[in-house]
Structure 1
């Protein structure tokens, strides 16, 4: 192959105006004006002609662009001639790999695979770099068929010892769901590094095999921050926040420093558990290490503080954000809604609109929740209509569920029922469950029986629905029906979820179950409760035994109601935290009417803020009042 400049074919009729312009410029100007302009082999030949005529060096041609322009045309060999002349010290595979890399990471990775086959047609022998670029394209496309071919090429060319390529091949098989093959390759690899192990762990987590992932994690000879973060995030995603926090503690013991992804995962676990102390420590760590500008971390901090009952801290994080996304605004709206501050949630939405941030479906879930928790019926209707009319957002089943909840809570049970029947999609258990829950509040047995008929078909093993119906019957004095529901549960082996509450003291989470007497401080807790009870009675408190839906003696009902898990957690908190500090309790079920009344009184007696997160929302008790305004 000739490398003299004159050996390249020059177009017969180049653009004369362009030639005149080029002659009056230096080669540097030529480089700027023309080298970026050619987009076809014909235009490339014109630029080449000007290079020859101006005695500019051929090396000023952008070789990757030359390759991309000629790759899928009959001028492929022409590009090879240019490469040979310019890159005498480097093989042409160097340039072709640049082309493959650009295509693999671009908008059309399939072109990288097509170029690979084109290279094979022109007897260009792939090296490890070419193989890695094409494997990257296969990975981006999840193209296992071509990936298998590349795997064969790697084996045939003797690249088995290349750890980078082997890791990519394992990653490809695993990402395409072929975990058995990935595991086989993993086991047969002559050497592995931490990346190899991380790939397998991450993919097992994606497949939902958290036990398998942890087994591999346990056997790792070396772990880096990514290893720990993958496992922590995996536990959070599958609802195992306790395990995530426990693993994070081990990570700290091992001396591994968090990165920004770890911070997000641990904060999410703190939000699930209500682990405020750890969440605040991670917040401080984040600020110290320059993560304050990370929007995702700030968004997760808002969520964490909201779910831990520290709404003011969430607001502070929101106000200090230099950049806010729709997620930031939506998190703040949803948080205010959960805490019963509907007016502020609507004001935040107004501010959001003024700065030009378009809401999404999550934003409207927060707005509808705000309206539901405060009984803002007309506002809720307007927001629901506005979704499609003003923003083109098609309501999903979650939005319909919010509307049913809004109407039901307000006592508009017939309208809520009609709304359900007219939904464009099939109602799920959450929708019918919202109606059932309101039937208990408004003591509507007939509508409850209609709701339960659908719920038994949709979710027959959900104990909550049976319990609510049983309670509705009990409140109506229909004890035979109550017994029938409980027998039905027993026959179907549906067990009632026990009520539990947790409180964190000095970084340790303490859990209490309703009626529990096994806690080491039980005797002191009961004694302190009796002291509180005396003060409450002086202020007019009478135990609301109607919440005890069992056909037992009144004295037993009083004892039963005094053993509710949130009361035990509250007394424990009062005994073990400094005077004046807030008490924060997490509860798995809805707070009962008696506990709600008692907590209002106790907040005034002990002069403390008491925050309870139940299944539906937050109740912030202060000075004999609650943030829900007794509407829950």
Structure 2
């Protein structure tokens, strides 16, 4: 029902003000523009069309509420002969809320031209607009006006200035604003720390934190998140230990960051402890944290626990479904991923484009060509989701792994957009698997042109040449890398024991127990040779540097991590290893034989998927 404002005719000054108060009060209960316009009409009839207070309230409704209308607010503003700073501030916030930042900056200029003096409520939306619009010069001018008008210690203005300079990547300027603040609140500290972390200046984050006398949870989260974002996971754990010594209680933000750190290095034991802390302390498990927990268990190799957490959620958001489908795919359980999609649909949760990226990836890792082809069409026919680059990458990977190289190349040719390096890289990987040198040579050079700094592309093409003995081409690839200054990414493997994560590189000797580990490696090679091990050097010839080749034999990082696991764990205990690169064929074969000879279950997570080794077999069924 429309709101009606029935007013008696004014008979005196007091009765006039009383009459005006009725539509002004009614403005607070308006829920639609129709009701607002009725109240505005009453105010105009009462002669208040030029009143900044009355019309300012109308503008506030129009400009700031979702049900409002910024265009109408501007029309009302245009009728005011002398709009004051309150009306300008409200309208500025309207521009910001509508993401019309450039308009807001120009509107602020108009305000100055009319000699309306800004106040402390003017600057935050203007500074924010400059940040979003990347208006560097205007932002600096606004900063000057903040100082000139005496708001150099206003926390709202200064915190917004710190945020603005962070967005401009001007951390020195942000730090200068921060240092001049007499009173620094949590927002000041967190904004600066987040700025350093976003740009990878993690050491500066630590220096800033050391200046704080009282470090609250938000600041700890900023520090831990900084380490996680920059892949310094061990530092994140150290920061958390420091946080506990300061008697700061973990919240859901810190928990999510720490679980991401556990995911990064495969630290299942620590992840378990964090999850138990979450459960015992009553931290609210929101959809984001739930997804992070499931993701941690999936990527730390404990798929059963991930499913337990997933099934125990009182309500499942789409991110949780997507994460679980992706987790099943990483572990080579493509059929289970397909079944989970069907369960998702039965639960009336509509899949999105991420769902089908994860599902197609699951099909690719499990060799489900028929199912993959079906769902590639199904997502468009059923949900109107047009394939994106990621879908094409998974689909080409699916076909390529199945040996359907020509079909995969036709998919690339028929794509509505130009294929990027990830799509072509999937086909190059398939060419490497099946030894198709002609196609691999063509695709490989195109991929290298698209990603000249990605060492993995060079290595893959060189390995393809190595398999057929084209060592001159291998040498040319190496020379090309040297000329371009491209360094091969080092293989790093991690393993957790009693909450401590140990890190290994190929041929590394820095571990405190290096001598014992290499003695164990010698024992391993003796025992697996007895059951038929023959070294596979197809990929090793290019996969390590000359210096490494002289000293290592075949001691890649995952072999050293597994040897360490055999040393430290009891017979029959499961060994989990995480590697940052794809497992090579030789390491894959060695891992299978170790699982047989030592009667151990070994789980290795590489860049692409999980390998569950048991009894001399791998869950990937040689399909990776």
TM-score (norm 1): 0.78
Gaps of 5+ in 1: 12-27, 49-60, 81-91
Counterpart for residue 3 of structure 2: none
Cα drift, residue 465 of structure 1: 2.8
Which aligned pairs between 1:44-443 and structure 2 lie closer than 5 A? 44=42, 68=61, 73=76, 128=120, 130-131=121-122, 138=129, 158-175=150-167, 181-207=173-199, 209-443=201-435
Distance in 2, matches of 1:281 and 1:136, equals 43
Deviates more, 1:426-435 or 1:304-313: 426-435
What secondary structure does 2:611 align onto? strand
Counterpart for residue 40 of structure 1: 38
Counterpart for residue 595 of structure 1: 587
Cα drift, residue 47 of structure 1: 12
Q: Does 1:542 pair with 2:530? A: no
Q: Does the C-alpha gap of structure 1 residues 122 and 466 become closer, same or farther in structure 2, counting only changes over 3 Å? A: closer
Per-residue CA deviation, residues 25-64 of structure 1 (Å, 9 max, x unaligned), is: xxx99x999999554345545999xxxxxxxxxxxx9x96
Counterpart for residue 16 of structure 2: 7
What secondary structure does 1:581 align onto? coil
Counterpart for residue 563 of structure 1: 555
Distance in 2, matches of 1:297 and 1:278, equals 16
Assess if the C-alpha contact under 8 Å between 1:109 and 1:137 holds in 2.
no
Distance in 2, matches of 1:395 and 1:289, equals 43
Deviates more, 1:414-423 or 1:402-411: 414-423
Counterpart for residue 573 of structure 1: 565
Per-residue CA deviation, residues 173-232 of structure 1 (Å, 9 max, x unaligned), is: 544666565444334334434432322222343455545544433444543222221122
What secondary structure does 2:342 align onto? helix
Q: Which residue of 451, 458, 479 corresponds with 2:450?
A: 458
Distance in 1, matches of 2:16 and 2:285, equals 57
Q: Does the C-alpha gap of structure 1 residues 560 and 125 become closer, same or farther in structure 2, counting only changes over 3 Å? A: closer
Q: Does the C-alpha gap of structure 1 residues 547 and 560 become closer, same or farther in structure 2, counting only changes over 3 Å? A: farther
Q: Provide the aligned length of Structure 1 versus Structure 2.
A: 587
Cα drift, residue 68 of structure 1: 4.7
Per-residue CA deviation, residues 240-285 of structure 1 (Å, 9 max, x unaligned), is: 3333333333323333222211111111121111121221121112
Gaps of 5+ in 2: 1-10, 47-53, 63-71, 543-547
Cα drift, residue 141 of structure 1: 6.4
Distance in 2, matches of 1:309 and 1:399, equals 25
Per-residue CA deviation, residues 487-534 of structure 1 (Å, 9 max, x unaligned), is: 544455544444332211122222223344564434433444454455
Cα drift, residue 331 of structure 1: 0.5
Q: Does the C-alpha gap of structure 1 residues 518 and 364 become closer, same or farther in structure 2, counting only changes over 3 Å? A: same
Which one has the largest radius of gyration? Answer: 1
TM-score (norm 2): 0.79
Q: Does the C-alpha gap of structure 1 residues 414 and 196 become closer, same or farther in structure 2, counting only changes over 3 Å? A: same
* Alignment RMSD: 4.5
